[in-house]
Chains A and B, each alone.
Chain A
Amino acid sequence: MTDFQSIYNGNYNKLFRVAMKMVGNSDSARDIVHDVFVQFYNRETEGHLILYPSSWLYRVVINKCMDFHKHAAKFQTIMLSDHESADDTDDLKEHRITMVQAALSSLNPHERALMVLYSEGMSYKEIAESTGMRFSSVGKTLSRTLEKLENELKKQKYELY
């Protein structure tokens, strides 16, 4: 149990950040991360051995986020902003968030996952383990996706430079 607790405390933040970037909504992100931990907990208590808990957790979170997007069409999202915009700086931030989300949603789910993990500062090896991508193709795909995302952000008139 202490083992589980340390895994939970050590990974929760990182997984939440990934889920949040993938689904763009903190409630759904929390639900996804919680579900994944429940799944992990059940597997452990049932006696299944997970060799690399961190990679396993990332992989399942990413898959769940992809599923979320697949089924998102079935649900109506009522846009209640997470950030209460009180003044102009908040409005600007809100606007930038919308632009980044729009740019991200133009990528396919695998590219989105790749960008999200990259922005979390993960190494190519970790990215390959979490996405199931071949290690040798991470560099090429990453460089192509970065270019695509950069163009999308420019299309959104996001000030990159």
Chain B
Amino acid sequence: MNCIKTDLIQKYIDRAATVKEADTVEKHIAVCRECSARLTELRHRADEVKKALNILVNNEVSIPGFIASVGKTKTREAKRIKRYVFSLFAASVLIFLVMAIVITLNTRTQQQMVVVHTVDREINANHTVTEQLVEINIIDANGKVTTSP
């Protein structure tokens, strides 16, 4: 005699077997003591496993009030606006940085010193080049004259 498979017995226990399957199981367990014992064992196992899992939850569970944020429905719109504002801000920061760099570079070139020199003292022919007397007048941007000692 062909004994029935465990998963069919399980289906029978859980009342998920079709009428035909249930019929097969019932006819078989009526004559097969082994399968009948297996059915009892599996039914017991299912009950015990369910019981074991159910100790994980307390029976009394209070239902809390539901808090829905009203603004949530506009989330997508709000996100889009937020993104626009952010990119505008980022762009203005970038422009500001570029401008700042350009301005700094420009002022730097303006502050470069322009050296204009003229030699307006007569050369003393009795001395060598390194022994010549030199007087240096520095004129800054405001027209102030500084004379070297």
Inter-chain contacts of A160 with B (CB < 8 A): 45, 48-49, 52
> How many chain-B residues does the 8 Å CB contact rule pick out?
33
Q: Is A100 an interface residue (CB 8 A)?
A: yes
Inter-chain contacts of B68 with A (CB < 8 A): 38, 41-42
Main secondary structure of the interface of B (DSSP, over half): helix
Contact assessment for B56 and A8 in the assembled complex, using a CB-CB cutoff below 8 Å: no
Contact assessment for A115 and B72 in the assembled complex, using a CB-CB cutoff below 8 Å: no
Contact assessment for B49 and A146 in the assembled complex, using a CB-CB cutoff below 8 Å: yes
Q: Which of A51-59, A72-80, A137-145 contacts B (4 or more CB under 8 A)?
A: A137-145
CB contacts under 8 Å to B, within A3-31, are 5, 8-9, 12-13, 16-17, 20-21, 24, 30
Which of A9, A34, A139 gathers the greatest number of chain B CB atoms within 10 Å? A139
Inter-chain contacts of B7 with A (CB < 8 A): 139-140, 142-144
Q: Which of B8-16, B84-92, B116-124, B127-135 contacts A (4 or more CB under 8 A)?
A: B8-16
Q: Is A116 an interface residue (CB 8 A)?
A: yes
Inter-chain contacts of A119 with B (CB < 8 A): 49-50, 53-54
Inter-chain contacts of B73 with A (CB < 8 A): 42, 45-46
Contact assessment for A12 and B63 in the assembled complex, using a CB-CB cutoff below 8 Å: yes
Main secondary structure of the interface of A (DSSP, over half): helix
Closest residue to A45 on the B side, CB-wise? B73
Contact assessment for A150 and B45 in the assembled complex, using a CB-CB cutoff below 8 Å: yes
- Measured between C-beta atoms, what is the minimum distance from B62 to chain A in Å? 9
Fill in one digit per residue for A116-141: 1 if any B CB lies within 8 Å of its CB, else 0: 10110101100000000000001110
Given contacts A8-B66, A17-B61, contact A101 B10 (CB under 8 A): no
Inter-chain contacts of B6 with A (CB < 8 A): 143, 147
- In the assembled complex, the Cα of A23 lies from the Cα of B27 at a distance in Å of 42
Given contacts A9-B63, A123-B16, A161-B48, contact A139 B11 (CB under 8 A): yes
- Measured between C-beta atoms, what is the minimum distance from A102 to chain B in Å? 12
- In the assembled complex, the Cα of A19 lies from the Cα of B15 at a distance in Å of 25
Q: Is A68 an interface residue (CB 8 A)?
A: no
Fill in one digit per residue for B33-62: 1 if any A CB lies within 8 Å of its CB, else 0: 000000000101110111011111110010
Question: Which chain B residues have a beta carbon within 8 Å of chain A's beta carbons?
Answer: 6-11, 14-16, 42, 44-46, 48-50, 52-58, 61, 63-64, 66-69, 72-73, 75
27 CB-based A-B contacts, threshold 8 Å: A9-B63, A13-B63, A17-B57, A17-B61, A21-B53, A24-B56, A41-B68, A93-B55, A97-B55, A97-B56, A116-B53, A118-B46, A119-B53, A119-B54, A124-B16, A138-B16, A139-B8, A142-B14, A143-B10, A146-B10, A147-B6, A149-B49, A150-B45, A150-B48, A160-B48, A160-B52, A161-B44
